[in-house]
Amino acid sequence: MDQKFIDLFDRYTHGAMKRREFLEKLTLLAGGTAAATALLPVLENNYALAGMVAEDDPALRSGFQQIDTGVAGYLSVPLADGAHPAVMVVHENRGLNPHIKDVTRRFAKEGFVAFAPDFLFGMGGTPDDSDKAREMIGQLKPQDIQAIGVRSVQAINKFPTNTKEKTGAVGFCWGGGVVNAMAVADPLLRACVAYYGKQPPASEVPKITAPLLLQYAGLDERTNAGIAGFEAALKANGKTYELYIYEGANHAFNNDTNAARYDKAAADLAWGRTIAFLKKYLG
């Protein structure tokens, strides 16, 4: 697909325009309504594809659960005996959708107690309408986001099957930014992985204690503008981190429900690095 369509969709999904304006611009770029209509299903997420790990996988116990006061989300727990560290999975700016639930089950299949909090739970939960979810995400205050994240980490760190009491965090897009902020705010975290996430201010970097795995898409100019300053601050403060840029990949390259932006080669490589990193620091 022509990059101009992907860039337009990226601006739309990150709040630069309303849906009506996006559709008008897409129609102009595509050269007509019929062409725009044909492009739209490729640009938007198709959650029918969110099934890499089945919801009823017999090796897991998965489902929506409230784990603390005001904290609820999708929990997936391995049923196998043994020690299981925990991972908090932070969703994109569309809220807790089927794709993120599937990703949460993938972490459980790798041996982690995986919990994806619904950051919109206190507002009635993630709606089916993606535009509405984005609007609701935009209404969250930074201190509320941090409070939900901290309580989620505290809860899963003490979860009965997290026998190691070691917890990490992985976030995607908006969630990547949340995880970077959590690395600053929560010393309980033992490892943090941010996929194409907004970077914290350089002045906050000295507070980071967890090792970081930072994964960026080569074509993501918007997010990548903050890499140089962030990395300079990490180096200056002697922080432990790994940073990878996947050339030729778009923002959201891990989202396999989005045909236009999903990049299987980049996603598979990044996933392998994510699991290895988490197992290294969480055990």
Q: Indicate the domain borders of the chain.
A: 3-43, 48-282
Q: What was the pLDDT predicted at 159? A: 79
Whole-structure pTM over 0.85, yes or no?
yes
Strand 71-78 and strand 113-117: the pairing is antiparallel
Point out the residues of the chain with pLDDT beneath 70: 162-164
| pLDDT score of 157 | 85
Residue type, 126: T
For residue 283, how many other CB atoms are within 10 A of its CB? 10
Decide yes or no: CATH 1.10.10.410 for domain 48-282. Answer: no
Instruction: List the strands of the sheet with 86-90, edge to edge.
Output: 60-68, 71-78, 113-117, 86-90, 167-172, 191-195, 212-217, 241-246
pLDDT at 231: 98
Q: Give yes or no for a contact between 184 and 208, defined as CB atoms under 8 angstroms apart.
A: yes
CA distances from 226 to 77, 196, 201, 222 (A): 35, 11, 9, 8
